[in-house]
Amino acid sequence: MKKAFTMLELVFVIVVIGILAATIIPSIKTNPLREAAIQLVSHIKYTQHLAMVDDKYGDNTTGLDWYKKRWQIVFSTSDNNADNKPAYLIFRDSDADGTVDKSELAHDNIDISKYLTGGLTGYSTLNINSLSNFDGTSSLNLGKKYGITNITLSSTCSTGTKVAFDHLGRPIKGPLSSYSSPYPSTKPIIAACKIMLFNGDGNITIEIEKETGYTRIN
């Protein structure tokens, strides 16, 4: 005689599956705030890496102060080409004028045809809304990609919206174009730099340690 499930056993199995699903599914839901922080940490570390391998220490061959040409990460919340959403870019100010030129942007190390910017004023192809020919990296627009509503930097990070690294990987305050010497007394980061990301669910903090530049999500 063949054995079969009774209706009661079938209902019991369905109930158990439902309980397990209710327990497991919330834990595997995406967390856009944390995903944005993880991405940003990786790009801060990449900026530090570029500063160390693309060392401009003592290089005045172009007649410009070498210490103004360090790699830096720049944040914005009000750039029209970033759709006025929180975004960032990575660049080296090769002409030391304090502005970002397309040729000064870092390239995406996965797709070198793309630039590491979430939108940049002055270049139509780096307007996040020009999706047909956008040659930036859309994920760097944290507002569009992750729903981030604001980015704030502590006063220990920057006198503006820029954080740079020297040839030893040490974090220093931007903007570099205002420097009159390699290490003005008020410029090295002397306490943990805190970068906060906000969205509708709350906020998350990224810290860059002084001296080492070690970056983590707090």
Query: What's the CA gap between 58 and 15, in Å, rounded?
Result: 70
Region label for 37, one of left (φ > 0), alpha (ψ between -120 and 50) or beta (otherwise): alpha
User: Within a domain: residue 3?
Assistant: no
At residue 170, the pLDDT reads 92
CB contact set of 194 (below 8 Å; sequence gap of 6+): 153, 154, 156, 157, 205, 206, 207, 218
At residue 181, the pLDDT reads 85
At residue 59, the pLDDT reads 66
User: Within a domain: residue 6?
Assistant: no
Looking at the structure of the chain, the number of domains it has is: 1
pLDDT tens by residue, 46-60: 999 999 998 666 666
User: Within a domain: residue 22?
Assistant: no
User: Within a domain: residue 16?
Assistant: no
At residue 130, the pLDDT reads 85
Query: pLDDT means per 10 residues in the chain (218 residues)?
Result: 62 71 63 96 96 76 77 93 95 86 91 92 88 90 96 84 91 85 81 94 95 94
At residue 180, the pLDDT reads 83
User: Within a domain: residue 126?
Assistant: yes
In order of 82, 98, 106, 127, the CA distances from 122 in angstroms are: 11, 14, 17, 9
Query: What's the CA gap between 77 and 34, in Å, rounded?
Result: 19
Q: Is the pTM of this model over 0.95?
A: no
At residue 197, the pLDDT reads 97
At residue 6, the pLDDT reads 72
pLDDT tens by residue, 8-34: 666 666 777 777 766 665 555 679 999
At residue 190, the pLDDT reads 86
User: Within a domain: residue 104?
Assistant: yes
User: Within a domain: residue 25?
Assistant: no
User: Within a domain: residue 120?
Assistant: yes
Range of the domain at 39: 31-217
Q: Enter the tokens of residue 217.
A: 């999500």
Task: Return mean pLDDT, the chain.
Answer: 86
